[in-house]
Amino acid sequence: MTDVRFDGRASDGKASGGRASDGRASDGGPGSLLPSARPVRFLTDAGAAARPRPRYPAPGPDLLRRAYRAMVVGRRFDAQATALTKQGRLAVYPSSHGQEACQVGAVLALEDGDWLFPTYRESVALVTRGIDPAEALSLLRGDAHCGYDPHRHRVAPQCTPLATQTVHAAGLAYAEQRKGTGRVALACVGDGGTSEGDFHEALNFAAVFKAPAVFFVQNNGYAISVPLERQTAAPSLAYKGVGYGIRSERVDGNDPVAVLAVLAAAVEHARSGHGPFLVEAHTYRLESHTNADDATRYRADSEPAEWRRRDPIARLEAYLRRRGHLTDEDVAAAAAEAEDVAARTRAALNADPRPAPLDLFEHVYRTPTPQLDEQRAFLRDELEAEEVPS
């Protein structure tokens, strides 16, 4: 893969006439909605500073060190979860190996009171948000529809249907706007999800009502086995926001510095009352779609090998080391924390669950319906009858 320019400037490094330095029109008209000509990036594939520098403010070293630690922990957690599927401890697991910059960046761009609306692939994002790893895996284990408290963590339940979470995010963001809380909702969605009607309804609603929502598209090239070119004829997925009047941007999703910078700008745009923002991250999943998928059937072996060269953790580590912001001790500490998280995840998932049948009726309605009460009573009688000695 050749090294390309990602900043949208002309080859001489100067902004083209009538456009801002990122390639976007600077007159405030419809062109100001357009994403950069090429995905924004701060780092080369080797982790050196890219030139010319994008116009977005770079995140500080403290935030970048947090991102590095979270990505190291997230990758080890992801590998442990993948191993647990092979041991029969998880029913299914969608790996995000290779997409750690997006998983971590989506969380670190938010404030504690903001809401995250994940897909089924956002397990690393959930752990980064502070959710216990075992609780994050409850859905994928089949123990519960949602193993964590959404209100406590400001994280909606992981969503298996494609793109339905984008509608929920748009509605919640609008509600927060009406209440004047200043909170933002960030909805993650895959490239395949942008072909769903829910995605377009969410964008249209959010744009019309200027809801403080960020739509974060992780374009990893495939909707299971369907390549991007069979999904859309758009120049990029970021252009899908422009038709709805939504400010849009493209970013190198394997560049943690760029992901953090662009998402921070998107969140601030939404929080400041300027309406929704769409960010498309160009990234790649190195593993199969899930443990039930065989990616070798639809992509060449050389493709993952090429993307490993753009590994987000290696790029950020090289960048921070060059600037003296990361030491051998820091790297060792992150690795040790990652192993501790993996060990705790193994221990929790190796314990056999003890489901309580009556819990089926919890969290269905705030006030149970008469039909639900009747069904609960019927099941309780059946369980009590089984306990009576014959």
d(CA 96, CA 112): 23
Is 285 noted as a catalytic residue in this protein?
Answer: yes
Closest CA to 210 of 140, 292, 269: 269
Sign of CA dihedral 342, 345, 347, 352: negative
In the residue annotation, 289 being an active-site residue is answered as yes
Any idea what DSSP says for residue 16?
A: P
Phi-psi region of 153 (alpha: psi -120 to 50; beta: other; left: phi over 0): alpha
* 194 CB-contact burial (10 Å; exposed 0-12 / middle 13-18 / buried 19+): buried
**Ramachandran bin of 142, using left for φ above 0, alpha for ψ from -120 to 50, beta for the remaining angles:** left
Q: Is 185 helix (H, G, I), strand (E, B) or coil?
A: strand
Strands (E) in the chain, as ranges, are 115-117, 185-190, 213-219, 222-223, 226-227, 247-252, 277-282
Q: Spot the catalytic one: 76, 250, 282, 285.
A: 285
66, 97, 298, 299: the active-site residue = 298
Catalytic residue among 75, 289, 310, 346: 289
Distance in angstroms (rounded) separating the CA atoms of residues 169 and 180: 16
φ/ψ of residue 80, rounded to 5: -65, -40
Pairwise CA distance, residues 55 & 51, whole Å = 11
**Directed axis angle between helix 256-271 and helix 61-86, to 10°?**
110
298 is catalytic: yes
Joined together, the tokens standing for residue 180 give 């004047």
Which candidate, 67, 28, 106, places its Cα nearest to that of 264?
106
**Largest distance between two CA atoms of the chain:** 88
| Spatial distance between the Cα atoms of 109 and 121, rounded to a whole number of angstroms | 18
Instruction: Confirm if 277 and 247 have CB atoms less than 8 A apart.
Output: yes
> Exposed, middle or buried, 293 (CB in 10 Å: 0-12/13-18/19+)?
middle
Q: Which are the catalytic amino acids? A: 285, 289, 298
